[in-house]
Structure 1
Amino acid sequence: MSSTATIQPSQRELWGHPIGLYILFFTEMWERFSYYGMRALLTLYLVQKTTADNPGLGWLDSQSIMLYGWYTMLVYVMSIPGGMLADKVFGQKKAVLYGALILVAGHGILAFDQMWAFYTGLGLIILGVGLLKPNISTMVGGLYKDGDIRRDKGFSIFYIGINLGSLLATFIVGYVGETIGWHYGFGLAGIAMLFGLAVYLYGQKYLVHVGNKPTEQEKKEDVSLGQLFSKLSQSPLQLGVVLLICAYAIYAGFTYDGVDNWAYTALYIFIALVAGVMMMIYKNLNTQILKDRFLVLLLSFLIVIVFWGAFEQAGGLMSIYTSKNTDRMLFGFEIPATWFQGLNAGFIIIFATLVAGYWAKRKLKGKEASSLFKMAVGTMIMGLGFVFMIFAAREYSANGSSAMYWLVFAYLFHTIGELCSSPVALSFITKLAPVKYASLMMGVYFAATGLGNKVAGILGENASEYGEYAVFSGITIFTVLFGILVLAMLKPLKRLTHGAEDNEREIKEQEKFDLAQNENHN
């Protein structure tokens, strides 16, 4: 009998990786297909006139971008309770299953042309992504043992699945939604999520040892938010800061203009609670090294907010600008506005390895390639992409339309900036976060991403008052100056990390040596 007959399904490999990786790859691919497909249609559906051949809701641009900002923020913020439920109650594997089921329901309901269905569908998608997204990534890491050198490559393969789903969605769902019917596009996104659910259910035998329900011992070892809040009540200064922000939140609810005034109240209360937890974590760290690293980590979250606040114009302001102000005719065919959002995913697939290779070679040569340096440079490159949108806005003012190539160049720069900044942000968290707060800090990272999405919505809303030219110019100037400020502070910030990344060059050199030895041996 062959020796492979005794290997359990969960231990089998394909192309050098656990088969479970490919199960999660296709599950996430279809989930991202459904999410980005719906994202590509959302603002365009909202602003489409009710008298059009393919009628939408006829909202103002500012109203649609406002909803887009709240929606994309909540999708990421819900990763915090989604991760906590998995850690404390039913494990990552069931969290992903429940999230997929909720997503199928949410996208399915969006297929109905009723306002109750629209809002209900959005709410279910927010809940579903909050359960699925943080936990499926955790499961990928769980497929590999500690120290397994295949882990980084496994995440790279998984990342390709994310962008492949995004690329396919913007072309397929975008075309169906814009040309056949918006709700057909929403329904197609639901069918895609159903495929993802089917793949996940089929592959359970390959995921036996990952994402299981936490044991009682693991629950005891984990730090709960309840413990942190109980300590917060014993600290007058920290409690005062939290109460001050909460008081302002209530003031905002009564005084802010707009239909979302009480939504801002809830947002400020959430920020107050997060701020209180961060202060208590800092206070409870028992060494100065941990405290210094924690401060740098909080600064990196600020970079995350700034980056995504600019980058996420793609699904809001830039999407509407593409639809209304861009000449999209090519050889007699009008390119759907949603297709331009696929440029980001396409450029990621093309340039991901090139950008990663550039930074790796730079690090091996002993040149500056720290995470903070890459995040700052990435933010600046992404911000410079809006220079092309400035040219587009000027051309539109002069001629009544702007050329497509401005969008192509803008998305190219945005993607290069993303590849410099986004992948290293998660890795940076694992290097600096205190071990017992690692899961919580990962949730805060997703919350920072969500706040960046909300900032993007606020900036997009202002375009109706100040104009696209002013908004694009402001984003360019701010992101470049912000990146320069981070670079100016780089040396003292690196000192505060206390060498968290100093040993990486030696590790890379050893890996390079081992690879050469293996090749010579073979």
Structure 2
Amino acid sequence: MATTTKLPTQKQLFGHPVGLYILFFTEMWERFSYYGMRAILVLYLVARTTEDNPGLGWTNGEALALYGWYTMLVYVASIPGGWIADKFLGQKKSVLYGGILLVIGHSVLAIEQMWAFYSGLGFIIAGVGMLKPNISTMVGGLYKQGDIRRDKGFTIFYIGINIGAFLSSLIVGTVGEVYGWHYGFGLAGIGMALGLLQYLLGQKYLKHVGNFLGASEDKVEKEAMKRPLTKVEKDRVIVLFISFALVIIFWGAFEQAGGLMNIYASEKTDRMLSFSLPFIGNEIPASWFQSLNAMFIIFLGTSVAGYWARRKLKGKLSTGLFKMILGLIIMGTGFFFMSAAAVEYNNEGA
């Protein structure tokens, strides 16, 4: 739970609490580290041990199996991460501890030993589980209930996520593929360390958000932790479970980008240029394709949000479930195009 009412006056920047921008950059660097590592993880696993930049030499199937377990645990870890924040630490401390775990995890991955590889993945899973669900809750806690700026605040926050994802695929991807996989893993750790540092420096702007309610002196807040759910809240929980089913399908398909589609970009995509680029030569790193999703979200996200806002002004309301289903249909259509590309590749190779 986050404190969302009776908030004291907060210092503003561009019409929003300064704390929003502290969380913006914290999440931007966290996503930089996470998506940067994700962009090269499977490529590192399948890279031959005899190459100039040797990997582990795993088969595609082995690499995708580990990637699947890793991504599943990252998402599942958010459940205990949120529970720990609500029951023991509060969101603010949970984000701090999550950031520390992430710095440790990415730093350990830079060590060229198998024990370090598995340990690093474990630390990252725990770190994301502590940080990811709680930092979003803190964003909401910066605004009073009913504040019309809240949706815009989340939009700004979400842009930070995609800036981090976009830059990491290009920067970490280039370092990992061209100069050394473990240099790439280490660079992701440096990014997370920068995010953690600015989060610590910005604590004065987060004094009134993300605190543990169990330690609150406010009697109403203490009672809120023990109060049973109302009928309306129980109905919302049912809708939440329905949305879970849709979200599982979406993220299961979305995460193919870092796994199967990453291998496809590496092995079955013509990435050669007719000219040479600085640092990479004339071959585009396969990891660069991971940046496209974030780039399109940055360019198109505002337009899509504006479309739904205009519909709302006209009295044409669309539920969150409807939007999620529409998104699933659009995403599914994208896989039809991928199947056509695969058929074309097979025909050319025949």
Q: TM-score normalised to the size of structure 2?
A: 0.90
Matches within 5 A, 1:215-364: 215=214, 218=221, 221-222=224-225, 287=231, 294-332=237-275, 333-364=282-313
State the Cα deviation string for residues 86-111 of structure 1 (Å, max 9, x = none).
11112111111111111111100000
Partner of 1:385: helix, strand, or coil? helix
Cα gap change, 1:110/1:294 in structure 2, threshold over 3 Å: closer, same or farther? closer
CA RMSD of aligned residues (A): 2.1
- In structure 1, how many angstroms separate the alpha carbons of the residues matched to 2:145 and 2:229? 25
State the Cα deviation string for residues 218-261 of structure 1 (Å, max 9, x = none).
4664369xxxxxxxxxxxxxxxxxxxxxxxxxxxxxxxxxxxxx
Q: Do 1:47 and 1:57's aligned partners in 2 also have CA atoms closer than 8 Å?
A: yes
Cα gap change, 1:204/1:292 in structure 2, threshold over 3 Å: closer, same or farther? closer
Q: Do 2:37 and 2:184's aligned partners in 1 also have CA atoms closer than 8 Å?
A: yes
- Residue 17 of structure 1 and its aligned partner are, at CA, apart by 1.0
- In structure 1, how many angstroms separate the alpha carbons of the residues matched to 2:123 and 2:230? 41
Matched AA of 2:267: K
- Residue 307 of structure 1 and its aligned partner are, at CA, apart by 1.5
Matches within 5 A, 1:132-147: 132-147=131-146
Runs of 4 or more consecutive aligned structure 1 residues displaced over 6 Å after TM superposition: none
1:381 to 330, 334, 349: 330
- What residue in structure 2 maps to residue 170 of structure 1? 169
State the Cα deviation string for residues 338-380 of structure 1 (Å, max 9, x = none).
0101000000000001111122223434446222222111111
- Residue 133 of structure 1 and its aligned partner are, at CA, apart by 0.9
Partner of 2:208: helix, strand, or coil? coil
Percent identity of paired positions between Structure 1 and Structure 2: 68
State the Cα deviation string for residues 299-324 of structure 1 (Å, max 9, x = none).
22111111222222111100011101
Matched AA of 1:396: Y
Partner of 1:331: helix, strand, or coil? strand
Matches within 5 A, 1:107-146: 107-146=106-145
Cα gap change, 1:298/1:361 in structure 2, threshold over 3 Å: closer, same or farther? same
Of the structure 1 ranges 196-205 and 325-334, higher mean CA displacement relative to structure 2 is found in 325-334
Cα gap change, 1:290/1:158 in structure 2, threshold over 3 Å: closer, same or farther? closer
State the Cα deviation string for residues 52-100 of structure 1 (Å, max 9, x = none).
1111111111111111111111111111111111111121111111111
Cα gap change, 1:174/1:92 in structure 2, threshold over 3 Å: closer, same or farther? same
Report the structure, 1 or 2, having the larger helix content: 1
Matches within 5 A, 1:361-510: 361-367=310-316, 369-400=318-349
Cα gap change, 1:177/1:94 in structure 2, threshold over 3 Å: closer, same or farther? same
State the Cα deviation string for residues 370-422 of structure 1 (Å, max 9, x = none).
22222111111110011221121012102239xxxxxxxxxxxxxxxxxxxxx
Cα gap change, 1:370/1:213 in structure 2, threshold over 3 Å: closer, same or farther? closer
- What residue in structure 1 maps to residue 24 of structure 2? 25
- In structure 2, how many angstroms separate the alpha carbons of the residues matched to 1:71 and 1:185? 18
Q: Do 1:325 and 1:400's aligned partners in 2 also have CA atoms closer than 8 Å?
A: no
State the Cα deviation string for residues 163-215 of structure 1 (Å, max 9, x = none).
00000000000000001000000000000011001101110111111112223
- What residue in structure 2 maps to residue 468 of structure 1? none
Cα gap change, 1:25/1:292 in structure 2, threshold over 3 Å: closer, same or farther? closer
- In structure 2, how many angstroms separate the alpha carbons of the residues matched to 1:63 and 1:111? 21
Partner of 2:112: helix, strand, or coil? coil
- In structure 1, how many angstroms separate the alpha carbons of the residues matched to 2:84 and 2:254? 30
- What residue in structure 2 maps to residue 191 of structure 1? 190
Q: Do 1:54 and 1:179's aligned partners in 2 also have CA atoms closer than 8 Å?
A: yes
- Point out where structure 2 has 5 or more consecutive residues left out of the alignment: 1-7, 276-281
- Residue 291 of structure 1 and its aligned partner are, at CA, apart by 6.0
Q: Do 2:98 and 2:127's aligned partners in 1 also have CA atoms closer than 8 Å?
A: yes
Q: Do 2:213 and 2:225's aligned partners in 1 also have CA atoms closer than 8 Å?
A: no
Q: How many residues align?
A: 333
Cα gap change, 1:330/1:368 in structure 2, threshold over 3 Å: closer, same or farther? farther
State the Cα deviation string for residues 454-491 of structure 1 (Å, max 9, x = none).
xxxxxxxxxxxxxxxxxxxxxxxxxxxxxxxxxxxxxx
- What residue in structure 2 maps to residue 494 of structure 1? none
- In structure 2, how many angstroms separate the alpha carbons of the residues matched to 1:93 and 1:300? 27
State the Cα deviation string for residues 399-455 of structure 1 (Å, max 9, x = none).
239xxxxxxxxxxxxxxxxxxxxxxxxxxxxxxxxxxxxxxxxxxxxxxxxxxxxxx
Matched AA of 2:261: M
Q: Do 2:110 and 2:185's aligned partners in 1 also have CA atoms closer than 8 Å?
A: yes
- In structure 2, how many angstroms separate the alpha carbons of the residues matched to 1:59 and 1:22? 41
- What residue in structure 2 maps to residue 469 of structure 1? none
- In structure 1, how many angstroms separate the alpha carbons of the residues matched to 2:48 and 2:106? 23
Partner of 1:330: helix, strand, or coil? strand
Partner of 1:54: helix, strand, or coil? coil
